[in-house]
């Protein structure tokens, strides 16, 4: 998967957990929590949906890696590709 595809995966999850938000203008390099109403429980939703939908595990120590869409792409793309190569 490309980084852009991974970012779209994260965006799809965010669209489900924050259904009242307009995501069309999210800036990829700005912290998600600074651009939209996203509390710690919502953040855990992202982690849970990555696990449920894609089998991706994000250890608590790495949560900061999911701060922005760009950092999500950087951090998650190798995980998605490692999973695909196992697959």
Partner 1 sequence: MSLSRIVITGVGLTAPNGNSLAEFRGNLLAGVAKISRIDVRYMGQLLAGVCTYDPLRYQKKKELRVGTRAGSIGIYCAREALADAGLTADQLARDRTGIFVGITEHGNVETENEIYAISKFGYDTKFWSHYHNPRTVANNPAGEISLNLGTTGPAYTIGAACAAGNLGLIHATQMLRLGEVDFALCGGVSESIHTFGIYAGFKSQNALAHHEDPNRASRPFDKARNGIVISEGGALYTLERLESAIQRGAKIYAEIAGYCVNSDASDYVLPNPGRQAECVRTAVARAGMQPRDIHIINTHATATPMGDIQECEAIRSVFGEGCPDTSINNTKSFIGHAMGAAGALELAGNLPSFTDRVVHPTINVDDLDPLCALPGLILNRPKSVDRVDTILNNSFGMLGINSTLIVKRFVS
Q: CA geometry: angle at 32 spanning 30 and 37, to 5°?
A: 135
Nearer to partner 1, 41 or 84 (CB): 41
| Identified binder of partner 1 from the candidate list 30, 44, 64, 82, rule CB under 8 A | 44
Should residue 23 be labelled a site residue for partner 1 when binding is judged by CB under 8 A? no
Should residue 19 be labelled a site residue for partner 1 when binding is judged by CB under 8 A? yes
| Identified binder of partner 1 from the candidate list 52, 53, 62, 78, rule CB under 8 A | 52
On whether the CB atoms of residues 3 and 76 are closer than 8 A, the answer is no
Burial readout 20-50 (b: 16 or more C-beta within 10 A, e: otherwise): eeeeeebeeeeebeeeeebeeeebebbbebb
| Identified binder of partner 1 from the candidate list 22, 24, 29, 41, rule CB under 8 A | 41
Name the segment binding partner 1 (CB under 8 A); options: 2-10, 43-51, 65-73, 79-87. 43-51
């Amino acid at each position: 998967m490309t980084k852009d595809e991974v970012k779209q995966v994260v965006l799809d999850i965010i669209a489900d957990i924050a259904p009242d938000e307009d995501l069309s203008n999210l800036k990829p390099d700005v912290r998600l929590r600074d651009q939209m109403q996203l509390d710690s429980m919502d953040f855990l939703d992202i982690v849970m949906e990555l696990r449920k939908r894609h089998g991706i595990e994000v250890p608590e120590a790495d949560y900061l890696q999911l701060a922005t869409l760009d950092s999500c792409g950087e951090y998650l793309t190798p995980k998605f590709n490692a999973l695909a190569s196992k697959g």
